[in-house]
Amino acid sequence: MNSKHQYVELNDGHFIPRLGFGTYKPQEVPNSKTIEATKIAIEAGFRHIDCAYAYQVEEEVGLAIRSKIADGTVKREDIFYTSKLWSTFHRPELVQSCLEKSLKKLNFDYVDLYLIHSPMELKVECHVYLNQRKLLDFCKSKDIVLVAYGVLGTQRYKEWVDPSSPVLLDDPVLGALAKKHKRSPALIALRYQLQRGVIVLAKSLNEKRIKENIQVFDFELTAEDMKDLDGLNRNFRYVTFKLMADHPNFPLADEY
């Protein structure tokens, strides 16, 4: 296993890297940026790549991964690749065809994890303003691994997020801990989740930030730091999926 990475064993005996590279991007960003960013992520040490049929970049992500296999950086078995079954394919007889579409775009023989995309897969938004303590405790009690998105806040997704939402990385507590540990607020937010036993997805198209995010394993927060970060929880959700609120399986109104 890559020495930079830490892994969690799933209840089927497979291992998932604790830090994943997210590949969702706004529509205005050209798909070529995804190829470049995914290559950089793999070169930096990311081995967990999170994507989906609905992101419409699986062809580009597959190309990036295969290029890093071809140049000897990784082998296919080194990469933990997640794809997702989109909502229009939820009927049992359509599942295989959706997976096959993803595999064809990727030019892969298999994916490592296949999730049901909303409504309502929701890897559960999870960050210091929404720490999902009850859900995390439940998952741990059932030997379920929680994968978090939105760990750094998600203001850039204009179609989903209220622009007046607080900027998570500007929080003064994160800033103070960043100064204390000589790290960025983003690394503090990522490290907090890892120490809670949460798998985190970090998205970026910026080379400097991608390379910085992999440094999350190079330091540790104290018990006091963790307590301070626990205190930031305000049950605030960036992505509310209001357009789906009438769906019978809409989960965000439920208490976890």
Torsion angle of the four alpha carbons 131, 133, 135, 137, in this order, in degrees rounded to the nearest 10: 140
Q: Is the dihedral of CA 165, 242, 199, 70 positive or negative?
A: negative
Q: What is the enclosing helix (H) or strand (E) of 21?
A: strand 19-22
Distance CA 175, CA 254 (A): 32
Distance CA 223, CA 220 (A): 10
Q: Is the dihedral of CA 44, 13, 187, 255 positive or negative?
A: positive
Q: What are the b/e assignments for 71-109, b being 16+ CB within 10 Å?
A: eeebeeebbbbbbbbbeebeeeeeeeebbeebbebbebe
Distance CA 51, CA 83 (A): 5
Q: Measuring CA to CA, which residue among 67, 66, 71, 64 is closest to residue 34?
A: 64
Number of other residues whose CB lies within 10 A of the CB of residue 232? 19
Active-site residue flag, 256? no
Distance CA 57, CA 205 (A): 13
Q: Which of 55, 129, 192, 238 is catalytic?
A: 55
Catalytic residues: 55
